[in-house]
Amino acid sequence: MKLLRRLRTLFNKDRLDQQLTDELQFHFDKQVEQNLAAGMSPEEARYDALRKFGGVEQVKEECRDAWGVRFMNTLLQDVRYAFRMLAKNPGFTVVAILTLAIGIGANTAIFNLIDAVMLRKLPVERPSELRLVAIVDPGSAGEPDPTFTNPLWEQVHDRQDVFSGVFAWGGDQFDLAQGGAVDYVNGLWVSGDFFKTLELRPSAGRLLTASDDQRGCVGAAVLSYGFWQEHYGGAPSAIGSTISLSTHPFEVVGIAPPGFYGTEVGNKFDVAIPICAAALFDGKTSRLDRRSNWWLTVAGRIKPGLSAGQLATGLRVLSPAVFSAALPQDWSADGQKGFLRQVLVAKPAATGISSLRETFDRPLELLMGVVGLVLLIACANIASLMLARAASRQKELAMRQALGAGRFRLIRQLLTECLLLSSAGALVGILFAHWGTALLVRCISKAQDPVFLDLSLDGRVLGFTLAIAVFTSILFGLLPALRATRVSLTWAMKGAQAIKSARAGRFHSRHWIVATQVALSLVLLVAAGLFLRSFAKLATLDLGFDRNNVLIVSTNLNTAKIPRDLQFSTCEAIEGRLRALPGVTSAGRSVMTPVSGSGWNGLIQSEWSTALTRRRSIAWFSFVSPGYFQTLHMTLLAGRNFNSGDTHTAPAVVIVNQTLARRFFPNLNPIGKTFRIMDIAEKPGAPIEVVGVIKDSKYRSTREEASPIAFFPATQIPGESEADTFELRTAIPPSALVSAVQAAVGEVNKQIPIEFHTLAEQVNDSMVQERMLALLSGFFGALALLLAMIGLYGTLSYLVGQRQTEFGIRMALGAEPVSILRLVMRSVVSVLAAGVIAGVGISLAATRVLQQLLFGLSAHDALTIIAAVTVLSVVALVAGYLPARQATRVDPMVALRNE
């Protein structure tokens, strides 16, 4: 009620003021009337009434105080006044708001990403109850491993007594097309209790339940809300329809709730199907029973009232039975011992799981620091501008102080202006952040594996933006406000010039601000330089193959249901047709391509180097056709390529890389020598003869050290695999070949699914972290440089303006323009030197944390630091020279007349 009254007063202020005046006027008139009646002259009556009443304005003010709206009122007044002041100076206002918007926007964008990747809880009921189950080998120091085989998961599911519900899932890709170019959707294998334990409710139809996930199931599918909207327009008829996933028909039974994208942050699922359906995909040796196929993630909801310690104990007690029941029978005795030793552990999983976190947590933290520095530099710029403005408003402020305004009141008013500026900056900044974050996500996405993140602005992000807006306004506003209100009234009234020239020679606060900016910008430039050089080194690295103009065509003959014994000839036929296509200069095929993310390795043994440790005995394998090396431009250093004589039944042969040759045949000519591969039980296989040596090349990632690689002929692949990935070296842009390739493969068999990539894109994807750091640190470094330059230029222009009279007098007394120039440049150089020294110091101390993220470069790389200092100095000197030259053009007459 009282609040209501207050608010009413606030909005009816003018009317209430009028009423107050009327009320007091009535009183006054009555008194005059009485005085007249008592026989006073009209003049005397008025005078007496005034005297009896006391100060009218004071009484009014006290009455307004009684309304309790004075605080709000002055606030409104301040805001109105601030608006007027800002509108009066649109140039300053726009520059300040844009500068802040960039600073605040960059911070919001990076924080939004951090929030989405690391902090946001899954959109399910009580996410804090969720725990991820992982496997730890107490005998090794490795991280807990969160992947499970299906037999292991079934054991956990059947035996556990610590979770009120437990569930498993695995990500996969399903092809919607029936042969030809693939149309992948993100699939999710889920256990029967997945949706129930997460307590999700369907948007339509029903979700999968335990009864859908039974051995021998026919397959039911749940679509994500987004996929339903996109592919079915949200039509209810989708329920009950059939969807073909990698040629297997599934009945759509329901739609997941909107906002639920899966449990893996960074991916979104389109279709979820029960784990039991893997049997439909795999045939008789399904991964449901394979004890060495790790493809599931397991999580549960902790039982109410159970402590973390009880949970850990429960899982530990459970472990022996689980692992012995799911023991891989074909492993070596040592391997089995290690397997049985493992224990289950639980980790909090409220935020889901994400592979993005490992790759990007440090880069993101680093970028948060970078944008923090950018914001500081931006604040310094605005503080400079505010100081300059405060100086030009000195007369106004002095006048208001002389008229009785308190210092606190003036500071409050100046800070209100700052708050208004930073609020506007924050609003524009949120807009910047909105598309900035989308760009960032593109930046961390791989061409072959785009990242999906829920980027809606939640309360945490908005709170963060609000906090930095308030913080920045205090940061850039307080110092200028304190300085501006500390004025000598008489001096100020006489004219601002007099004060300034009194202390013109000093290295005062504005210089400090600029020196700080120079230092911070230098730190950012050094970081940017390091990341750019690191990325350049990585990007121009000799990979051992030529990434350009290679089209990769992946097929899957199993999906096309081509019988095993026909697969080899089918591949041969496809390779032949592709080689004959116009625009293709050579073609080859292999089981995998370099830096694709997949790998195949094993232990090998040679009689010439028997003392190798187990880790150093690992070699990486590939199976390739004779055309492979030529297509990838890999150099054969010795021996021969594979040829048509290396058939399935011919003696086993291998081409090894330099590292393998050096390690397993030290100081020997490897050609003609043999090595053996250990099988899964660690028994050596038949000898394989080395027929060639090839130059070292990258296998898994561009960052890796050279590792031993063995290339075997595609004809001699053991087991179920087939070299069904084709590489084409093209004379025309690879993408132009897509339709011709589709037609050629279709001529062989229309059912074969085809996927296209380029080798260049695959290589780029392996450098996504470095690329992002180089791109963003380069961008923010340039931004910092620009801001620092503006700051320096602005400050010097202003200071030169302030010292105009002094320069005028000097020149009138015979000073040469050169000496004036020297005078001004001397302060530029001293500011620059102070900033550079501090900046180099901070860089040396701070860049050590970057070391881990750099490739082939020390964090204290002298060249980078020198380059950054040079760039900064040149830019600063140019920014300083322009106002300095202005100083030499001062007309002594004009300057003196000003006084």
Partner 1 sequence: MGKSIDLLQGTLDLLILKTLALEPMHGWGISQRIQQISHDSLQVQQGSLYPALHRLEQQEWIASEWGASENNRKAKYYRLTDSGRRQLEAETAKWERLSAAVAQILQTA
Residue 12 or 585 having the CB closest to partner 1: 12
Minimum gap (Å) between residue 373 Cβ and partner 1:
51
What secondary structure does DSSP assign to 257-279, as a single string?
A: PTT---SBTB---SEEEEGGGHH
Specify the residue, 21 or 488, whose C-beta has the smaller distance to partner 1. Answer: 21
One-letter amino acid at 456 equals S
33 or 334: CB nearest partner 1:
33
Of residues 269, 305, 279, 249, the one with CA closest to residue 195: 269
- Minimum Å distance from CB 11 to partner 1? 16
Which among 572, 713, 588 has a CA at the least distance from the CA of 651? 713
Residue 28: exposure state from Cβ atoms within 10 A (0-12, 13-18, ≥19): middle
Compute the least distance from the CB of residue 62 to partner 1, in Å.
4
Minimum distance, C-beta of residue 32 to partner 1, in the bound complex (Å)? 11
Q: How far is the CB of 83 from partner 1 (least distance, A)?
A: 30
CA dist., res. 275 & res. 616, Å (int): 37
**Residue 69 CB, nearest approach to partner 1 (Å):** 10
CB of residue 40 to partner 1, shortest distance in Å? 16
CA 203-207-212 angle, to 5 degrees, is 165
Q: For the CB of residue 50, give the shortest distance to partner 1 in the complex, in Å.
A: 10
Residue 705 DSSP label:
P
Q: Which is nearer to partner 1, 50 or 279 (CB)?
A: 50
Beta strands in 60-191 (DSSP E): 130-136, 163-175, 180-181, 184-190
Contact status, residue 542 vs residue 870, Cβ threshold 8 Å: no
Contact between residue 525 and residue 785 where contact means Cβ atoms under 8 Å apart = yes
Q: For 156-169, what is the HEC assignment?
A: HHHHCCCEEEEEEE
Closest approach of partner 1 to the CB of residue 79, in Å = 24
Nearest distance from C-beta of residue 58 to partner 1, angstroms: 7
Residue with Cβ nearer partner 1 (46 or 703):
46
Shortest Å distance, C-beta 39 to partner 1: 18
For partner 1, the closer CB: 33 or 199: 33
When the beta carbons of 30 and 84 are compared against partner 1, the nearer one is 30
Q: Which is nearer to partner 1, 3 or 818 (CB)?
A: 3
CB of 49 to partner 1, least distance (A): 9
Calpha distance 153→135 (Å, rounded): 11
User: Closest CB to partner 1 among 25 and 490?
Assistant: 25
| Alpha-carbon span 744 to 413, nearest angstrom | 76
8 A C-beta contact, residue 574 and residue 555: yes
Burial of 885 (0-12, 13-18, 19+ CB in 10 A): middle
Residue 71 Cβ vs partner 1, minimum distance, rounded to whole Å: 14
Q: Kindly state the helix (H) or strand (E) to which residue 880 belongs, with its residue range.
A: helix 862-888
Cα separation, 390 vs 480, whole angstroms: 7
Do β-strands 204-205 and 248-255 pair in parallel, antiparallel, or remain unpaired? antiparallel
In 3D space, the residue among 413, 461, 306 whose CA is nearest the CA of residue 75 turns out to be 413
How big is the CA angle at 110 (ends 765 and 429), to the nearest 5 degrees? 130
Minimum CB–partner distance for residue 85 and partner 1 (Å)? 32
If the CB atoms of residues 53 and 507 are measured against partner 1, the closer one turns out to be 53
Report, in Å, the least distance between residue 66 CB and partner 1. Answer: 4
Distance CA(359)–CA(113), nearest Å, equals 13
Comparison of 50 and 536: residue with beta carbon closer to partner 1 = 50
* Cβ distance to partner 1 smaller for residue 61 or 145: 61
Dig out the tokens for 495 from the structure.
Answer: 């004219």
Angle at 175 between CA 174 and CA 180, to 5 degrees: 160
Whole-angstrom Cα distance, residue 860 to residue 721? 48
CB neighbours of residue 266 within 10 Å: 24
Amino acid identity of residue 493, one-letter, is M
The answer for residues whose C-beta is within 8 angstroms of residue 734's C-beta and 6 or more apart is 549, 550, 551, 728, 758
Rounded CA separation 524/374 (Å): 8
Quote the least distance from Cβ 12 to partner 1, whole Å. Answer: 14
Binding residues for partner 1, per CB under 8 A?
A: 1-2, 5, 19-20, 22-24, 26-27, 29-31, 52-56, 58-59, 62-63, 65-68
119 contacts 354 by C-beta, under 8 angstroms: no
Q: What is the DSSP letter of 849?
A: G
3-state secondary structure of 186: strand
Is residue 104 a contact partner of residue 469, using CB atoms and an 8 Å limit?
yes
Nearer to partner 1, 15 or 508 (CB): 15
Q: Which lies closer to partner 1 via its Cβ, residue 20 or residue 539?
A: 20
Q: Which of 34, 74 has the CB closer to partner 1? A: 34
Min separation Cβ 42 and partner 1, Å: 18
Question: Residue 53 CB, nearest distance to partner 1 (Å)?
Answer: 5
Sort residue 457 into left (φ over 0), alpha (ψ -120 to 50) or beta: beta
The H or E element spanning position 626 is none
Q: Which is nearer to partner 1, 62 or 607 (CB)?
A: 62
Which lies closer to partner 1 via its Cβ, residue 52 or residue 201? 52
Q: Which is nearer to partner 1, 50 or 668 (CB)?
A: 50
Q: Kindly compute the dihedral angle of the four CA atoms of residues 48, 49, 52, 55, in this order, to the nearest 10 degrees.
A: -110
Torsion sign over Cα 543, 546, 548, 551: negative
Q: Which secondary structure element, helix H or strand E, spans residue 238, and what is its range?
A: none
C-alpha distances in angstroms, 445 versus 517, 699, 772?
33, 21, 9
Phi and psi angles of residue 177, each rounded to the nearest 5 degrees, phi first: -80, 155
Structure tokens at 422: 């930073």
